[in-house]
Amino acid sequence: MSLTLTDVRLVYPDGDRELVALDEVSLHVPDGTLTAVVGPSGSGKSSLLAVAATLVRPRAGRILVGDTDAGALSDAARTRLRLNRVGIVFQQPNLLPSLTAVEQLQVTDRMRGGASRPDHAERLLATVGLKDRLRSRPHQLSGGERQRVNIARALMGAPEVLLVDEPTSALDEHRGAQIVDLLADLTRHHGLATVLVTHDSRHLDRADRVATMHDGRLTPP
């Protein structure tokens, strides 16, 4: 299923004024494709993901996940949409220090109210290259490996949309390239509509499209 944003406007209060974080932003991401969004710090990239993730309601505009209009849903229905159809990889992995890689993924099942599926978690971790790291805790993993756990966790609910915020910022060039390769492969294999936000203009050759954000405006590919 695709992701479509149409004429999205997002405004934050800023003292007695307003800050326009997203200004008439439109973006269509077909399933099985990866769109990279590049742009300087403060240009609105994370805001774009927050709106696409249905975490924040825009002042105007429309978010479609497949055929579902997120703006028309109640808060409870939006939460269900997010848990079941959207995978989010935040900039900070936010892994729980005491849990193994498999357990990090199982927590997501419990949040969804389902039974935890250790075999499913193990398969996903193997898919992201962590077959030998299933019982490792975050402090035993490298930055790149923690980011892979983070990505696998986002896929636990078999989402249609994958939103990834600056996954390579803490990684060296080689490991950064590997993470982008992984995201591109997962996008094709699972038919995801993926948005990869980055201020890092390296590794963009793996993206199907590259859009540029500047001062809240998105220049489409």
Interface pick for ligand ADP out of 33, 47, 54, 127 (rule CB under 6 A): 47
Q: Of 42 and 191, which has the nearer Cβ to Mg ion?
A: 42
Secondary structure (H, E, C), 32-73: CEEEEEECCCCCCHHHHHHHHCCCCCCCEEEEEECCEEHHHC
Total number of residues binding ligand ADP (CB under 6 A)?
11
| Residues 126-165 interacting with ligand ADP (rule: CB under 6 A) | none
Q: Which residues bind Mg ion (CB under 5 A)?
A: 45-46
Look at strands 86-89 and 161-165 and give their pairing.
parallel
The CA distance from 78 to 5, in Å, is 16
Interface pick for ligand ADP out of 4, 8, 33, 45 (rule CB under 6 A): 45
> Other C-beta atoms within 10 Å of 106: how many?
20
CA quadruple 220, 84, 141, 131: dihedral, nearest 10 = -110
CB 67 to Mg ion: min, Å: 29
19 contacts ligand ADP (rule: CB under 6 A): yes
Q: Of 44 and 144, which has the nearer Cβ to ligand ADP?
A: 44
What residues pair up with 162 in beta bridges, in sequence order? Answer: 87, 194
Q: Of 124 and 162, which has the nearer Cβ to ligand ADP?
A: 162
21 contacts ligand ADP (rule: CB under 6 A): yes
Helix-then-strand count for the chain, H and E? 6, 10
- The per-residue DSSP string of 101-150 comes to HHHHHHHHHHHTTS---HHHHHHHHHHTT-GGGTT--GGGS-HHHHHHHH
Q: Of 13 and 97, which has the nearer Cβ to ligand ADP?
A: 13
44 contacts ligand ADP (rule: CB under 6 A): yes
SS3 of residue 170 by DSSP: coil
User: By CB under 6 A, which span of 45-53, 58-66, 98-106, 171-179 interacts with ligand ADP?
Assistant: 45-53
Q: Of 124 and 180, which has the nearer Cβ to ligand ADP?
A: 180
19 binds, among ligand ADP, Mg ion, none (CB under 5 to 8 A by kind): ligand ADP
The CA distance from 101 to 107, in Å, is 10
Interface pick for ligand ADP out of 43, 127, 187, 198 (rule CB under 6 A): 43
Query: Contact residues for ligand ADP (CB under 6 A)?
Result: 12, 19, 21, 39, 41-47
